[in-house]
Amino acid sequence: MSLLTFTDRGIYCPQADVYIDPWKRVEKAVITHAHSDHARWGMGAYLSHYYSAPILRQRLGQDIRLQTVGYGETRTVNGVHISLHPAGHIPGSAQVRLEYQGEIWVVSGDYKVVADGISTPFEPVRCHTFITESTFGLPVYRWQPQEEVIGEIHDWWQANAEAGKASLLIGYALGKAQRLLQYLRDDIGPVYVHGAIALVQDALRSHGVPLRAVTQVTPDIPKEAYRKSLIVAPPNAIGSAWTRKFGAQSLGMASGWMSIRGARRRRAADRGFVLSDHADWDELNQAVEATGASQVFVTHGYSDLFARWLREKGLDAGVVETQFEGELSEINESGAEPDPEVKTETAP
Amino acid sequence: MKHFAHLIESLDQTTKTNAKVDHLVDFFAAADDPDKVWAIALFSGKRPKRTVSSTLLRQWAAEASGFPAWLFEESYHVVGDLAETVALFLPPPTDSTETRTLSEWMDLLQSLAGVEEADKEQAILAAWRSLSTQERFVFNKLITGGFRIGVSQKLMVKALARHTGQPENVVSHRLMGNWKPQTIQFHDLLFGQDAGDDLSRPYPFFLAYPLENTPDTLGNPADWQAEWKWDGIRSQLIFRENTLFLWSRGEELITPKFPELETLAASLPARTVIDGELLPFKNGSPLSFQVLQTRIGRKNVTKKILADCPVVIMAYDLLEWQGKDLRELPLQERRAILAELVLTVGQSDLLRLSPEVTFNDWDQLADLRSQARDHLAEGLMLKRRSSAYQVGRKKGDWWKWKVDPLSVDAVMIYAQRGHGRRANLFSDYTFAVWDEDQLVPFAKAYSGLTDAEMQQVDAWIKRNTVDKFGPVRRVIPELVFEIGFEGIAYSPRHKSGIAVRFPRMLRWRTDKKAKDADHIQALRELLGSEIPP
């Protein structure tokens, strides 16, 4: 029997009777990171990295049964050595390594190879079989360095401020928002955040993640204060009544999808900034190679194409259907973060 | 080129028309004259003949990147734009010291005509290496054309009017017609002698908006002239210095396609410009648009074509008469002269006056409108009798009042990713109706849904794909849509034997299951009296 199998509940290790990021209720779940399409409600027990804990509790309930570990710390379940390793996606995000009788599998979860300065940087883990995401698994997706993007954001803010406009910058509440906030230059002027982001920011900070303190948008702040300011908000704030108080404003979005002109125009954002927490094409290839794996399973994203590419390079690569965002993430980036209750339904 | 690439980037970064005009004005202020002329030409779709095929571009981009060709094709389906795919697919530039101007690049591209393929390849690869990703995208657009970047002719005219300090309608008129960016000077284009300096130059067309409310909101019926809205090609017939020119509304000179019109030269008065509809017309009545389309598609105008698809100019308006610009006169006066002129020409097999549809009150007109299809018309045109002939699409004096579309309920069976702002989104669908227990495809449509609906359908498609053929996905036949179309005709080229015109989605019928969709009989009934070929 294979160390990991793919079931309709999620990726499963029969020997340890453990699921990884399951999407249906199971007894034991290892969680790669706290985004809601990977960490779902209703599992008997959870295992995650220490930094994921505050968000998991915030979103899934204070009373969940949750064990946490640090990176590289091993738990042994029925002979299977399970450990988490940095995935560089968001703070606390992990690859899951499973070893049984000398055979090693690694599940990547979501990852990026380039260090973002707030997540523990990605570490390649040698294995026989690697299960990788492929959200941006085409050569047209290649990211520019973070400093350049931050520079663009700064220029955009400056032009807006000169025109007397507020800058409303959109990014996921967990991960993207912290990254944006951490690296804004000090001279950017007043910065405010949406309540959903303040919640995440505070939870991570109180848990020891070294992040900046932020100022939440509250009713007692005079409206004039927002002129020339930068406001960071999650996608569901777009077009909401909440944004009206900022007066004249420019809308910017930070996402990997912004590298495609069509996607940018579809959002009707004034500016798209190409900043992703997923690996680009080069990073995906680099990561796969660094594992030394001879067998690769490709999940959410351009999985069939990336798998074909790997096969042509001589690897034994296949596609695994999962219910992680994959292709769908583009849609979700334009709206709220994916809601697990809605996600499993088939529209309409 | 940096200037121009920057302009494109700035235009891309805003959806607000005023901001776009500002960017254009800034560009015109900074660019040198040859670059200005090229920018105007590119934005108004006046491209020189292309010198490098897209097949070659694809091939070279794949080779230069070191990736297999299939990966390029798949990326193209996702990006939805060839120029952009090439720009992104290539490895990052090696030297960005490029300083050539837009017109120098255009010259370079022109110089590639007739050059050996290997030399073309070298020139293009060298260009790619020296340009940033954004500049590459713009450069590729210069090759492939289709500069659709949210700059309408209207916006450009606005910007040029501001830049040159001339009224918009003057600028608009100057940009019409046959000028060539390779040879014309900016000053001559915008300030040269009057219309006479270009014999073939047409006037900007006056276009109507669809009527949004019921016509009784227009006031007194006596103030309005109604005509059939003919289903042909809106055209301008120009006769100056004994030469005849026919322009389509798409600003194409189509005179050679319709040699029979030359006969009119014998009887048209000198210096005449008529606005009308080029209409397939036989035995005293119009033919369906499809007949005309077939004729346009043919390379040579044969005797058979002339016999199968004779055309007339159905005259709507008179813009120039005896060399005078009549556009400021009230419509009723222009029309009176036009009627007289058509009568004098006396060639009703080539030139006819579009008849007035007479009516006493709006209810009566509504009845008449419902008979439009019997006349092979798309509906009615309503024009204020006192109206001047304006420039471009304007509200107020002219309205089009089309008949409601024909429609059937159909099942989505295939989906394909869209282009442009629908890149990477399944937005182009194929629809089928039942024939016994089989679903027969009969129309493709990609418009009519809201963005939110399209995203929902896109998500559904990704979850309900049965099969993939290249960019096309076969989906579970489950979603039903009401498909509207303007016309319907027999067509041996379609599997269903039927071709529909301007199909689009009117509604997503979430209340219907696939089995509730229409049968092919419903389409056949709509064909009504049309005779199979």
User: Which residues in A lie closer than 8 A to residue B510 (C-beta atoms)?
Assistant: 348
Q: State the Cα–Cα distance between residues A44 and A56, nearest whole angstrom.
A: 14
* Residues in chain A where the model's pLDDT stays below 70: 268, 325-348
Q: Measuring CA to CA, how many Å separate B418 from each of A214, A219, A259?
A: 41, 43, 17
User: Which residues in B lie closer than 8 A to residue A348 (C-beta atoms)?
Assistant: 456, 460, 479, 508, 510
Whether B75 and A139 lie within 8 Å, measured CB to CB: yes
**Residue A328, pLDDT score:** 40
Does B103 contact chain A (CB < 8 Å)?
Answer: no
Reported pTM: 0.80
Interface test with A, best of B18, B75, B446 (most A CBs within 10 A): B75
Find residue B430's DSSP bridge partners. B414, B444
CB A89 within 8 A of CB A110: yes
Nearest to B385 by CA among B224, B221, B207: B224
Nearest to B60 by CA among B123, B137, B139: B123
Nearest to A302 by CA among B83, B421, B71, B422: B71
Alpha-helical segments (H) within chain A: 53-60, 146-162, 176-183, 195-206, 261-266, 281-291, 303-312, 329-334, 340-343
pLDDT 10s digits, A197-244? 999 999 999 999 999 899 999 999 999 999 989 999 998 898 889 999
Query: Quick one: DSSP state of residue A74?
Result: E
CB-based contacts of B520-529 (< 8 A; 24+ apart in sequence): B520/B433, B520/B434, B520/B435, B520/B440, B520/B442, B520/B496, B522/B408, B522/B433, B523/B408, B523/B433, B523/B442, B523/B488, B523/B496, B523/B498, B524/B498, B526/B406, B526/B408, B526/B488, B527/B488, B527/B489, B527/B490, B527/B498
State the smallest CA–CA distance between residue A50 and chain B in angstroms: 34
Amino acid making up residue B142? L
Does B71 contact chain A (CB < 8 Å)?
Answer: yes
CB A77 within 8 A of CB A18: yes
Nearest to A284 by CA among A133, A87, A95: A133
Q: State the Cα–Cα distance between residues B495 and B484, nearest whole angstrom.
A: 19
What residues of chain B, 39 to 58, have a C-beta less than 8 Å from chain A?
none
What torsion, rounded to 10 degrees, do the Cα atoms B74, B75, B80, B83 define? -120
Can you read off the two tokens belonging to residue A290?
Answer: 């660094």
**Residue A329, pLDDT score:** 46
Interface test with B, best of A23, A138, A270 (most B CBs within 10 A): A138
Kindly report the backbone phi and psi dihedral angles of residue B239, in degrees, each rounded to the nearest multiple of 5, phi listed first. Answer: -130, 105
Nearest to A165 by CA among A243, A269, A248, A252: A248
Q: Which residue reads 């006596």 in tokens?
A: B222
Q: Which residue reads 């690769």 in tokens?
A: A296
Does A300 contact chain B (CB < 8 Å)?
Answer: no
Nearest to A131 by CA among A104, A97, A98, A106: A106
**Residue B527, pLDDT score:** 82
**Residue A340, pLDDT score:** 31
Whether B421 and A262 lie within 8 Å, measured CB to CB: yes
Q: What is the three-class DSSP state of A241?
A: helix
Amino acid making up residue A132? T
**Residue B478, pLDDT score:** 94
**Residue B477, pLDDT score:** 95
> How far apart are the two ends of chain B, measured CA to CA in Å?
54
What residues of chain B, 483 to 512, have a C-beta less than 8 Å from chain A?
508, 510
Which sign does the torsion angle of CA B96, B97, B100, B102 carry?
positive
Whether B423 and A271 lie within 8 Å, measured CB to CB: no
Whether A139 and B425 lie within 8 Å, measured CB to CB: no
What residues of chain A, 270 to 289, have a C-beta less than 8 Å from chain B?
270-271
Q: State the Cα–Cα distance between residues A220 and A237, nearest whole angstrom.
A: 19
CB B184 within 8 A of CB B216: no
Q: State the Cα–Cα distance between residues A256 and A280, nearest whole angstrom.
A: 9
**Total length of chain B:** 533
Q: State the Cα–Cα distance between residues A146 and A283, nearest whole angstrom.
A: 14
Q: State the Cα–Cα distance between residues A97 and A130, nearest whole angstrom.
A: 9
Q: Closest partner residue to A263 among B68, B70, B424, by Cβ?
A: B424
C-alpha B201 chain-centroid distance: 20
Does A138 contact chain B (CB < 8 Å)?
Answer: yes
Q: State the Cα–Cα distance between residues A47 and A76, nearest whole angstrom.
A: 12
Element (H, E) at B428: strand B426-435
CB A31 within 8 A of CB A51: no
**Residue A11, pLDDT score:** 96
Q: State the Cα–Cα distance between residues A157 and A263, nearest whole angstrom.
A: 22
Kindly report the backbone phi and psi dihedral angles of residue A345, in degrees, each rounded to the nearest multiple of 5, phi listed first. Answer: -75, 155
* Residues in chain B where the model's pLDDT stays below 50: 195
CB A88 within 8 A of CB A119: yes
| Ramachandran quadrant class, A182 (left: phi over 0; alpha: psi -120 to 50; beta: rest) | alpha
Q: Give every CB contact of residue A154 below 8 A, 6+ residues apart in sequence.
A: A184, A185, A188
Q: Closest partner residue to B423 among A260, A305, A309, by Cβ?
A: A260
Q: State the Cα–Cα distance between residues B286 and A104, nearest whole angstrom.
A: 76
Query: Quick one: DSSP state of residue B444?
Result: E
Amino acid making up residue A196? A
Alpha-helical segments (H) within B80-144: 82-89, 102-111, 117-130, 133-144
User: Which residues in A lie closer than 8 A to residue B479 (C-beta atoms)?
Assistant: 348
CB A13 within 8 A of CB A98: yes
**Residue A188, pLDDT score:** 80
For B507, other C-beta atoms within 10 Å of its C-beta total 17
Which sign does the torsion angle of CA B363, B367, B372, B373 carry?
positive
- Strand B426-435 vs strand B438-445: parallel, antiparallel, or unpaired? antiparallel
Kindly report the backbone phi and psi dihedral angles of residue A129, in degrees, each rounded to the nearest multiple of 5, phi listed first. Answer: -130, 130
Q: State the Cα–Cα distance between residues B441 and B415, nearest whole angstrom.
A: 12
Q: Give every CB contact of residue B177 below 8 A, 6+ residues apart in sequence.
A: B198, B200, B201, B202, B247, B251
